[in-house]
Structure 1
Amino acid sequence: MTRPINLLRIAVAALWMLSALSATVYPQAAADPLPSWNDGPAKQAIIKMIAATTTAGSAEFVAAGDRFATFDQDGTLWVEHPIYTQVVFALDRVVALAPDHPEWKNVEPFKSVIAGDRAAIAKFTMQDLEKIVFATHTGMTTGEFSALVKDWIAKARDPRWHRPFTELVYQPMLEVMQYLRANGYKTYIVTGGGQEFVRAYANQTYGIPPEQIIGSALDTEFTYNDAGKAVLMRPPKLLLNNNFSGKPEDIYLFIGRHPQAAFGNSTGDREMLEYTQAGGNGALMMLVLHDDPVREYAYGPADGLPASKVGTFTQALYDEAQRKGWNVISMKKDWKRIFSFEK
């Protein structure tokens, strides 16, 4: 019995030595931090920026505590077509509140929403949408509003994919955020959407805490409820319009410095990218171009794509990107897959 046992021990030792030698002579390649991206200029620009800003001695090195990246949400991190998710929430709230407001049946824009008149809804002006937001987002505490959003976002489904809206997040962008955070970056969402709306699900969906959400915001008023507990109420008054020039203004208000990287997809993000580039030091500016009508949507009108009022990416913005060295991400060419549920 001694001999077989010795032979077994020798065989095991030999296998262990071969494994160790193989690992030494032929080291495995480092895991791809962006596996959902095709190799190309966009992917390489991200990798290059992170390497340059995190390598000590590099001319573009940024200390760990000073590394910031900003991301628009709608159309940059998740699907925005055919209508913004928060608008869907607001329209659903109108229907839910309609029994308590019988006068809405004869008053626009509520009349069209209750009737489900999609043609009329598509023609709503900003004033119409403001009326709907004030009617559905105010008159409650911040905690009550957050609870409403969390309940809705857990139940609502997108009509095309029949999935929760939080599953329609772009997997390549999740990888970018994770890659940045793994290299000492703080990631911020800078959105034209409602700050409190996004805060209700951002941590679970993107891994971004509430204090790193910058968005359009209603005012808040400190008061006491009937039980004498301190609460913050949401009055029908706009505090921050976080779009266009409002984005860099609010970035400075909340962060107090230029980001090293900024990601957007529309004209509403233009000033954020310009502000990021003005900070210098190897800044990275990227715009997502929706040019994949099969896996997602195609709209612009940049680069000959169909025009759109939702997430407008004009030819002028496209030309500015080319002129200033910003990277335009082609959904069709640069992303191997768009959603995590793709096979």
Structure 2
Amino acid sequence: MSAAALPSWNDGVARAAILDFVARVTQEGGVDFVPPAQRIATFDNDGTLWCEQPQQVQFYFARQRLEALVEKDPGLKTRQPFQAYLEHDMAAIKDLGKKGLFEVAVAVHAGMTEDAFANYARGWLAKTKHPKLGRLFKELVYRPQLELLEYLRTNGFKTFIVSGGGIDLIRAFAEEVYGIPPEQVIGSSVRLHFEMQDGRGVLMKEAELNSFDDREVKPANIGLHIGRRPIFAFGNSDGDLAMLRYVRTGEGPRLALLLHHDDAAREFAYDREFRFSPLAEALDKADEYGITLVSMQRDWKRVFDD
């Protein structure tokens, strides 16, 4: 099976590490055997499973909603952080950072039910294209990662997304695109409250951040929502480093992987200069921390589906 596994991955250190790890933890009677219930794998989403350049998809999603709200409340045009997004002031947006982006998303989607949000998100994803690559955002998922998710599940792993992106936006497409059901998605979230509307119980979104699922919050939310330390993790930025180290430093066999975007020809090349989600410490100390580096240019035969 190994010879046919991961066909969009080139032979090399990264592919060999994955195949060796899965073989060891699934060999019954072997010294590294891990029971299926403990085979938990966590993946970041933005930049790990799908394209996050020139900005994360959450940026485009929130901005379109914000532009619609301005028609009802023109005063938003002169209030920060909304003004920066409406004027496409990239310097100000970068200063606000990834958390600032999510706080805008929180504000513009407040007052919606979860069901209404899910319908809105699915409709937006079904028609909205990447501004540079000209394809639907949900088509810009990485083929090698889709193969890896399926390979892990075929070998008894349960796959989770642990992302700094909005949990409800990811849940709107994760099952269709990744085969990951909504209950296996962890992400940044807003506060909710329950109320009755026309005899039906609904959950309403509030204009308040509940959890910003980035950096050290990721392992905390893994403990809170999964209840097991994963044995496999995949990320692409310093925002994932705490999760990768949490996984890597547990007992028994462990594998933590870090995707380096070094392929300007097929996607984008970036690392430490990406203000929203830089890759610096994790890149510099991958060897020291026992993290396996994955080069998009070297390790992947293709990036997207043709």
Q: TM-score, normalised by structure 2?
A: 0.95
Alpha-carbon distance between aligned partners in 2 of 1:121 and 1:238, rounded to the nearest angstrom: 18
Deviation at 1:273, TM superposition (A): 0.8
> How many residues end up aligned between the 2 structures?
306
Alignment of 1:1-343 (within 5 A): 32-118=4-90, 120-125=92-97, 128-225=100-197, 227-301=198-272, 307-314=273-280, 316-341=281-306
Runs of at least 5 residues in structure 1 that lack an aligned partner in the other structure: 1-28, 302-306
C-alpha deviations, 1:283-313, integer Å up to 9, x for none?
0000000101111111123xxxxx2213311
Is 1:244–1:269's contact at 8 Å kept on the other side of the alignment? Answer: yes
Is 2:248–2:290's contact at 8 Å kept on the other side of the alignment? Answer: no
Alpha-carbon distance between aligned partners in 2 of 1:128 and 1:184, rounded to the nearest angstrom: 38
Is 2:98–2:276's contact at 8 Å kept on the other side of the alignment? Answer: no
> Larger helix proportion, structure 1 or 2?
1
Is 2:130–2:136's contact at 8 Å kept on the other side of the alignment? Answer: yes
Provide the secondary structure at the position in 1 that maps to 2:262.
Answer: coil
Q: Measured at CA, do residues 239 and 109 of structure 1 come closer, stay the same or move farther in structure 2, by a change above 3 Å?
A: closer
Amino acid at match of 1:171: R
Deviation at 1:31, TM superposition (A): 5.3
Alpha-carbon distance between aligned partners in 2 of 1:267 and 1:30, rounded to the nearest angstrom: 31
Residue identity over aligned pairs, in percent, reads 43
Is 1:75–1:311's contact at 8 Å kept on the other side of the alignment? Answer: no
Is 1:95–1:113's contact at 8 Å kept on the other side of the alignment? Answer: no
Alpha-carbon distance between aligned partners in 1 of 2:154 and 2:93, rounded to the nearest angstrom: 43
Runs of at least 5 residues in structure 2 that lack an aligned partner in the other structure: none
Alpha-carbon distance between aligned partners in 1 of 2:38 and 2:196, rounded to the nearest angstrom: 39
Alpha-carbon distance between aligned partners in 2 of 1:124 and 1:250, rounded to the nearest angstrom: 24
Deviation at 1:30, TM superposition (A): 6.5
Is 1:67–1:259's contact at 8 Å kept on the other side of the alignment? Answer: yes
Large movers: runs of 4+ above 6 Å: none
Is 1:291–1:330's contact at 8 Å kept on the other side of the alignment? Answer: yes
> Larger strand proportion, structure 1 or 2?
2
C-alpha deviations, 1:230-266, integer Å up to 9, x for none?
1111111222221111111010111111111000000
Deviation at 1:229, TM superposition (A): 1.2
Alpha-carbon distance between aligned partners in 1 of 2:64 and 2:191, rounded to the nearest angstrom: 23
Alpha-carbon distance between aligned partners in 2 of 1:201 and 1:43, rounded to the nearest angstrom: 27
Amino acid at match of 1:254: H
Alpha-carbon distance between aligned partners in 2 of 1:69 and 1:97, rounded to the nearest angstrom: 39
Q: TM-score, normalised by structure 1?
A: 0.85
Alpha-carbon distance between aligned partners in 2 of 1:84 and 1:295, rounded to the nearest angstrom: 18
Amino acid at match of 1:312: P
Q: Measured at CA, do residues 293 and 130 of structure 1 come closer, stay the same or move farther in structure 2, by a change above 3 Å?
A: closer
Larger radius of gyration, structure 1 or 2?
1
* Aligned Cα root-mean-square deviation (Å): 1.7
Alpha-carbon distance between aligned partners in 2 of 1:295 and 1:250, rounded to the nearest angstrom: 33
Deviation at 1:121, TM superposition (A): 4.0
Amino acid at match of 1:311: S
Alpha-carbon distance between aligned partners in 1 of 2:90 and 2:305, rounded to the nearest angstrom: 30
Alpha-carbon distance between aligned partners in 1 of 2:57 and 2:200, rounded to the nearest angstrom: 33
C-alpha deviations, 1:170-206, integer Å up to 9, x for none?
1111111000000010000000111111101100010
Alpha-carbon distance between aligned partners in 2 of 1:166 and 1:127, rounded to the nearest angstrom: 23
Provide the secondary structure at the position in 2 that maps to 1:290.
Answer: strand
Alpha-carbon distance between aligned partners in 2 of 1:292 and 1:48, rounded to the nearest angstrom: 26
